[in-house]
Structure 1
Amino acid sequence: MTDEQKKKLEQKLWDIANTLRGKMDADEFRDYILGFIFYKYLSERMHAYATRILDNDKIDFTDIDETSAEGAAVLDAVKDASVEALGYFLKPSELFSAVAKRGEEGAFILGDLATILSNIERSTMGTASEEDFDHLFEDLDLTSTKLGRTEEAKNALISRVLTHLDAIDFRLDDAKADVLGDAYEYLIGQFASGAGKKAGEFYTPQQVSTILARIVTTGKTRLKSVYDPTCGSGSLLLRVAREVSDVGDFFGQEMNRTTYNLARMNMILHGVHYRNFDLKQEDTLEHPQHEGMQFEAIVANPPFSAKWSARPLFLQDDRFAKYGKLAPSSKADYAFVTHMLAHLDENGAMAVVLPHGALFRGGAEGVIREYIIREKNWLDAVIGLPANIFYGTGIPTCIMVFKKCRETDDVLFIDASSCFEKGKNENRLRDEDVDRIVTAYRTRNEEAKFSHRASVAEIAGNDYNLNIPRYVDTFEAEAEIDLAAVAQELDQVEKDMAPIDAQIRAFCAELGLESPV
């Protein structure tokens, strides 16, 4: 599929999404359209798998009589194989295309649709994939009055959306083309654009994700594992996978239930097998779900300066104990950092987006920051990003990069605050900006007014304050004024004005007035 065809597909999906937009907010209609796309994906994948395993028996999956004993026996065999291979099962009558066709013909499908979505989850019960499908469709509320005042109106709207989606070929048979995954990412980004502050709960701008992903994969072609403690929609984890040939396993945790569901769908839509991702829904700081595990790559865009309990009991927690101080309850930034460091493998790399305050705030944060630099030498780089590039907030942000086994004892500072294209609502990092930042990180070259390698002694001299202007001087001196040239210009102005001045004096003399010149 060409880029132009992809863009047309994305626009078509967005147009379909907008058939619901007038009824509800962006973050609400997101759950419907993405849920239906996911259902279509599961159906097409189920159909393709069943066709493949029934090929030798010359049986067409969609022609199986579900009411006959023979048909039921075949479906039982297909179900066992499908749940093992795909993690779920759908009967022929439950496939997306079958339901869409019934809706297009005027049948009432809302009841069937609700049952089918529930059946998908039930088909996984007692199996290895149960946790990955548990309550996956709970945000797709087909009874909501926002879909229509009457059952008929709701049914008509949903039928129209399913019919439009059914006409789209997502080319799942092309193993090299992640068409549906790309389209899904596009829609998530579009919804984030219209969701204001809520967007930060589930989406990191693609350009920022790319920087984080390229940083933690520097020098590597494969990863054993990647982890995101605040994984949102899972887009950041999947972006890391694009930068290497293979990722063994994906791990993540997300507190928001709706966003957690979105992340699981996103994983499956991108072809990540249910056995290769482990996403949990809980508060990462208060109730970590991957205790004792370490990961080769860690990426995160935690909520900026979020509140947390900072209970004294946490001073006994291995994630925080060595620092002697807890991040303040009003700002959890360093609680996330130290949590991530506890999970970072010895040969791993970690990149996290933080507000600029994390670079220079004192108190407990200053103590933790100093320990990381002075005692451990884990801080690898600090990258200043442009302001207003995240949805829902205009505050300036930075990327802090950490490694436990570093080959250098200096810290690279990059000031990329001016590397952006101004947008209508948010600023945007361009591809050339991303490349410049990543190249500077990988080469560790110094460039005037852009990058600088600071020794630990230099940082210590600044009391472990990492404020970027202390290390990268971006001050532009004003051009020296040529006084002689200015005097010459003034002389010329006087010469040009002389005839006019003479006319004014003559006119005033005629009237008996005092001349102003």
Structure 2
Amino acid sequence: MSTKINQDEINGILWKACDTFRGTVDAAEYKNYILVMLFVKYISDVWQEHYEGLKEKFGDDEEMILRRMQRERFVLPTGCSFQNLYDQRNEANIGEIINIALEHIEETNKQKLSGVFRNIDFNSEANLGQTKDRNTRLKHLLEDFNDTRLDLRPSRVGNLDVIGNAYEYLIAKFAAGAGKKAGEFYTPAEVSELIAELVNPQAGERIADPACGSGSLLIKCGNQLLKNGIKDFALYGQEITGATWALAKMNMFLHGMDNARIEWGDTIRSPKLIEDDTTMKFEVVVANPPFSLDKWGHDDAANDPYKRFHRGLPPKSKGDYAFISHMIETTTQDSGRVGVVVPHGVLFRGSSEGKIRQQLIEENLLDAVIGLPSNLFYGTGIPAAVLIFRKDRNRSKVLSELSSGPTPPLPLSREGGKLPPPAKGEAGRGCCSSTPAATIRMLRTRIG
């Protein structure tokens, strides 16, 4: 009987597999190859174990076995398993062989995997080098994943969390090495946990992330419910970058959240989550959108058919309030909650942003401003904060909890355009510190 694998072991093996690319291929690029190979290895190991179980049950009745195998969560076409790829690792066209296998897997599982592998090219000279170097790297990659300790069969893994956690572990490690590009696909776990706790998703609710990256924040919200035994919820996301959208799709599958709807496209210019000819409405909307995005779609927003920017148009060169406006307008009227990560400039910049901000305050939507420690986000030292908006607020005060360090001006209230100063004591030390759980409990108590 197979020995159960533990989380640290699988994480270590997978991270070592990255040595094939480390130092020769940019981390923002090679992460896609590693994560796709992990996905293929996982579905192949599951397929093989289930096939062996049916073989034991039905013997030589291959027709019955194949008929049963067609009911699998993911169906592997003949010749497309990880083992098939490994057996061909010395072929001169191994990159092309992997690409063809991925195409067949995608086509066979079109309802779930349509488009997921279209942005990954294992035969790319630009990313993986000229033929000889590329073949060597791919051979080593297949050999690393063929490590006997990296046996991902259900009988050895035990539960899906181990695989999903390994995927998240790799994404976090890649973010650390990706510099400024990290923000395109990763939200630090501490920030995701904080937001998930504060928006407090409930049974039966729809939860969306309009800039979902690799899906980590959405998964944290889903896990917030699952840990309480609640399975009645729905996840939705949209991501503008094709390769990152694919990572989010695979991330959902590896966490067992197969019903999540993740769309590919520009949320501001072309929102894909549409229902009854308008934007879908969600009880919870969370996001870590790109900070101060230039050319975010100002001209299109001026004639937005969904009326998301009725409080005013953000400046062309800074899209922060475009995302905030979209998020607020896509929450349900009676109980909608928004949790969004923003740069501090959102709190005090003037002109059109100041007018939008003032309108949000006058509508009594802003519930809390929570400062985050500096250098929390990979690739940028820009100070950031979490804003919490609620449609069901029954008080006028805004909770302001800022991290240690200089406090920016906060022209956000009705009275003279300023928020109350940060509270003194432990709360004033900021979130995501040495005791994030205690900070979250304190904020949940104060926010309500």
Give the 3 Å change call, closer, same or farther, for CA 301–146 of structure 1 in structure 2: closer
- Asked whether the 8 Å contact 2:160–2:256 carries over to 1, the reply is no
Correspondence list, 1:194-343, <5 A: 194-217=177-200, 220=202, 222-245=203-226, 246=231, 248-273=233-258, 276-291=259-274, 292-307=279-294, 308-311=296-299, 314=302, 317-323=305-311, 325-343=312-330
Which 5+ residue runs of structure 2 have no aligned equivalent? 407-429
Give the aligned partner of residue 145 of structure 2.
Answer: 165
Q: What displacement does 1:332 show?
A: 1.2
Give the aligned partner of residue 393 of structure 2.
Answer: 406
Distance 1:337 1:92 in 2: 47
- Asked whether the 8 Å contact 1:380–1:406 carries over to 2, the reply is yes
- Asked whether the 8 Å contact 1:315–1:326 carries over to 2, the reply is no
Give the aligned partner of residue 442 of structure 1.
Answer: 444
Give the aligned partner of residue 361 of structure 1.
Answer: 349
Give the aligned partner of residue 490 of structure 1.
Answer: none
- AA aligned opposite 1:94: C
Q: 1:96 aligns with which of 82, 88, 91?
A: 82
- AA aligned opposite 1:158: L
Instruction: Tell me the SS of whatever aligns to 2:154.
Output: coil
- Asked whether the 8 Å contact 1:360–1:366 carries over to 2, the reply is yes
Give the 3 Å change call, closer, same or farther, for CA 213–332 of structure 1 in structure 2: same
- Asked whether the 8 Å contact 1:355–1:397 carries over to 2, the reply is yes
Distance 2:438 2:345 in 1: 24
- Asked whether the 8 Å contact 1:414–1:437 carries over to 2, the reply is no
Q: What displacement does 1:259 show?
A: 1.0
Distance 1:296 1:176 in 2: 30
Distance 1:372 1:53 in 2: 60
Give the 3 Å change call, closer, same or farther, for CA 148–326 of structure 1 in structure 2: closer
Cα deviation 1:113-156 (Å, max 9, x = unaligned): 2321110011134xx33xx43242531322436545435x5334
Cα deviation 1:211-246 (Å, max 9, x = unaligned): 11111126x4x3532110000111111111221123
| TM-score normalised according to structure 1 size | 0.72
- AA aligned opposite 1:96: F
* Count of matched residue positions in the alignment of Structure 1 and Structure 2: 410
- AA aligned opposite 1:242: N
Which 5+ residue runs of structure 1 have no aligned equivalent? 60-69, 420-427, 446-452, 454-517
| TM-score normalised according to structure 2 size | 0.82
Give the 3 Å change call, closer, same or farther, for CA 124–312 of structure 1 in structure 2: closer
| 2:184 maps to 1:183 | no
Name the structure, 1 or 2, with higher relative contact order (CA <8 Å, separation 6+): 2
Deviates more, 1:363-372 or 1:50-59: 50-59
- AA aligned opposite 1:100: Y
Deviates more, 1:395-404 or 1:429-438: 429-438
Q: What displacement does 1:92 show?
A: 5.2
Distance 1:429 1:401 in 2: 14
- Asked whether the 8 Å contact 2:179–2:379 carries over to 1, the reply is yes
Distance 2:101 2:304 in 1: 48
Q: What displacement does 1:74 show?
A: 5.2
Instruction: Tell me the SS of whatever aligns to 2:71.
Output: helix
Give the aligned partner of residue 114 of structure 2.
Answer: 133
Q: What displacement does 1:52 show?
A: 5.4
Give the 3 Å change call, closer, same or farther, for CA 34–137 of structure 1 in structure 2: farther
Instruction: Tell me the SS of whatever aligns to 1:410.
Output: coil
Give the aligned partner of residue 43 of structure 2.
Answer: 42
Give the aligned partner of residue 67 of structure 2.
Answer: 77
| 2:367 maps to 1:371 | no
| 2:97 maps to 1:115 | no
Percent sequence identity over aligned pairs: 35
The CA RMSD measured in Å over matched residues stands at 3.0
Give the 3 Å change call, closer, same or farther, for CA 150–58 of structure 1 in structure 2: same
**Which entry has the higher C-alpha Rg, 1 or 2?**
1
Correspondence list, 1:18-29, <5 A: 18-29=19-30
Looking at secondary structure, tell me which structure has more helix per residue: 1
Give the 3 Å change call, closer, same or farther, for CA 20–394 of structure 1 in structure 2: same
Give the 3 Å change call, closer, same or farther, for CA 116–350 of structure 1 in structure 2: same
- Asked whether the 8 Å contact 2:239–2:265 carries over to 1, the reply is yes
Instruction: Tell me the SS of whatever aligns to 2:290.
Output: coil
- AA aligned opposite 2:374: A
Give the 3 Å change call, closer, same or farther, for CA 311–119 of structure 1 in structure 2: same
Distance 2:341 2:4 in 1: 30
- Asked whether the 8 Å contact 1:380–1:401 carries over to 2, the reply is yes
- AA aligned opposite 2:287: A
